[in-house]
Amino acid sequence: MRRATALPKPPAGQPLQEIHVWQTVRTLFPYLWQYRFRVVAALFCLVAAKLANVGVPLVFKDMIDGMSGEVLALPVMLLALYGALRFSNSLFTELRELLFARVTQRAIRKVALEVFQHLHALSLRFHLERQTGGISRDLERGTRSISSLISYTLYSILPTLIEIGLVLIILYVQYDIGYVLITAASLIAYIVFTVKVSNWRIAIRRAVNESDSAANTKAVDSLLNYETVKYFNNEAWEAKRYDEQLVKLEDASTRSQSSLALLNLGQQAIIALGVTAMMWRAANGVVEGRMSIGDLVLVNAFLIQLYMPLNFLGIVYREIRQALTDIERMFGLLNEHREVADAADAHTLPADRQMQVDFDSVGFAYETSRRILHDVSFTIPPGQTYAVVGHSGAGKSTLSRLLYRFYDVSNGSIRINGHDLRSVTQHSLRSAIGIVPQDTVLFNDTILYNIRYGKPDADDDAVFAAARAASLHDFIDGLPDKYQTRVGERGLKLSGGEKQRVAIARALLKDPPILIFDEATSALDSATERAIQQQLEVAARGRTTLIIAHRLSTVMNADCILVMEEGRVVERGTHAALLAAAGKYADMWFLQQREIQEPGGEGVVA
């Protein structure tokens, strides 16, 4: 089975392919082009700012030449123009940022939301195999990198390229081709060196990212399983595992920093050679009388204006490539295959309080080498309660997952009121079903929020009624903060039974025509189970209900009981009929009764 990851990674040391870069840019571009007016206006401000910036040295040259004649005079107009150009550069730069701020933040918002929605749309298989810490870090870095990419591209690379073009034109027109050749050669050498070394460093940066994600995954996984760590006294073991990842992160980060120092040294050497050659040629021109002092100042000013941003070009290029890598990983989440998706012609499941569920020769396997269900067929008539019992691993919980369409059946079909689940929208299907799962996980919020999650628009009275139906209201009423009590991470502040009752109240609040109880009372003591069993039967009355259970005492009143073994239905009938048949159900029943009657055995689940 293919393991789901945030993004398929190339082998270690392999640089990021250019086609990936352009694919990432093409994917991101539509999010920005939605605001084309702002984009075009920002580009106009960018060009205007660079024209003003290039004009400053030209005016400064005229000022120097004007003041170096025999008669000294203060060039007032040139000074005013000099100040206006400097202010214009800042003005257009800030206007550019003001215009583009909304574009950047809106693009980040839309991309993050789209990835988040897609993650929720992926199959249960992906989420069972995912590494939550790594995915959350990919999403965080990806959204942050959108801002970095736009900032570096629009505010650093593009302005520098425009300025280089303008300066080369001025040098060619005003002086000779020699200055252009020296400048161009220096820039080409600098860019080629930067790109080559930076591409070599991508593998190192990728190793840093992978180590960072792995360390974060270990930390998140350990903290999520805080109680398990405490149960087995394994704090030192968890710290050791975490430190193993931190050691890898430390080594990768050290290599990254060392290679960065070598890159910076090479860049400075190229800049120093270029500046020396340009100043030597300009100084020689002044000595020979071909150039004025103002020309020397102009060439020097142009060099400073070019090499100052160029000084950071290496850093900017590396950050852009890293941003593209991070965005590519995030967009890779969007490319994750949706194993379960609505058909192109999927229709809404018609709303009806009376629903019939048909399992018709259903076969299913999580992995091709291990089949879970074999030719399972049964029908739950509208308003009736069917129970499925059997030993662990018999395939009982798989039935609820297939009914929810977390997976598609391998063969056969499941229908509701004659509609194949694959022909209806997932939203309408799941709107018709309520479930109390075996393992209840709650949001780190209030009890009120967690119950209301079954129907977010329900008023407080409806929430309170659902809590009473689940025998939970009196417990909540006795808490200091009552319904505003926070349940903690994954509901760990509540006992197993309390969490289960919150799940029951949540399902009752949803008020669906189909109910699934997947070990709904498994975490409850016998007294509490008896207290809410009648409420569950009342809640199931008039609804099509599927009960999945180990404890047979909870399904005695079901209209029909299915006994499963190794993915097959081996017996079916009422409680009395199955006991009379003296088959597997009868064996399970007498075994559980014997365990209950043994000293200290009450509540033991077979």
Q: Give residue-wise pLDDT tens across range 369-411.
A: 788 888 899 999 998 999 999 887 788 888 988 998 888 888 8
pTM (predicted TM-score): 0.60
Backbone angle region of 189, left / alpha / beta, with phi > 0 → left and psi within -120 to 50 → alpha? alpha
The CATH number of the structural domain formed by 18-334 is 1.20.1560.10
> Distance (Å, rounded) from C-alpha 491 to C-alpha 558?
31
**Which position has the higher pLDDT, 111 or 544?**
544
Cβ burial of 325 (10 Å; 0-12, 13-18, 19+) is buried
> Distance (Å, rounded) from C-alpha 505 to C-alpha 520?
11
Does residue 602 surpass a pLDDT of 70?
no
**Which position has the higher pLDDT, 530 or 559?**
559
> Distance (Å, rounded) from C-alpha 406 to C-alpha 400?
9
409-428 confidence digits (pLDDT tens): 888 999 999 899 989 998 88
Mean pLDDT is highest, among 92-96, 222-226, 443-447, 570-574, for 570-574
Q: Which residue has the tokens 């089975």?
A: 1
Parallel/antiparallel/unpaired status of strands 433-436 and 385-390: unpaired
Tell me the CATH architecture of domain 357-387+414-597. Answer: 3-Layer(aba) Sandwich (3.40)
> Distance (Å, rounded) from C-alpha 44 to C-alpha 67?
35
pLDDT at 379: 92
Backbone angle region of 106, left / alpha / beta, with phi > 0 → left and psi within -120 to 50 → alpha? alpha
Residue 563, φ and ψ in degrees, nearest 5 = -105, 120
CB-CB contact of 190 with 78 (8 Å): no
Domain boundaries, the chain: 18-334, 357-387+414-597
> Distance (Å, rounded) from C-alpha 593 to C-alpha 140?
54
Does residue 530 surpass a pLDDT of 80?
no
Concatenate the DSSP letters of all residues of 460-506 into one string: HHHHHHHHHHTT-HHHHHTSTTGGG-B--GGGTTS-HHHHHHHHHHH
**Which position has the higher pLDDT, 537 or 280?**
280
pLDDT band of residue 31 (cuts 50, 70, 90) is confident
Average the pLDDT over each of 32-36, 397-401, 569-573 and give the range with the smallest value. Answer: 32-36
Full strand arrangement of the beta sheet holding 357-367: 370-380, 357-367, 411-416, 419-420
Mean pLDDT computed over every residue of the chain: 78
- The 10 Å Cβ neighbour count of residue 591 is 12
pLDDT band of residue 5 (cuts 50, 70, 90) is very low
DSSP-derived 3-state class of residue 74 = coil
> Distance (Å, rounded) from C-alpha 243 to C-alpha 137?
19
Does residue 496 surpass a pLDDT of 80?
no
> Distance (Å, rounded) from C-alpha 139 to C-alpha 332?
10
Structure tokens of 537?
């039967």
- 544-583 in b/e form (b: 16+ CB < 10 A) is bbbbbbbbbbbbeebebbbbbeebebebbbebeebbeeee
* Residue 582 per-residue DSSP state: T
Average the pLDDT over each of 169-183, 187-201, 256-270, 294-308 and give the range with the smallest value. Answer: 294-308
Does residue 532 surpass a pLDDT of 70?
no
Distances from the Cα of 481 to the Cα of 57, 86, 442, 446, 453, angstroms: 69, 61, 18, 9, 19
| Average pLDDT estimate for 167-181 | 82
60-75 confidence digits (pLDDT tens): 666 666 665 554 455 6
| Average pLDDT estimate for 228-237 | 83
**Which position has the higher pLDDT, 145 or 345?**
345
Concatenate the DSSP letters of all residues of 158-181 into one string: HHHHHHHHHHHHHHHHHS-HHHHH
Does residue 309 surpass a pLDDT of 50?
yes
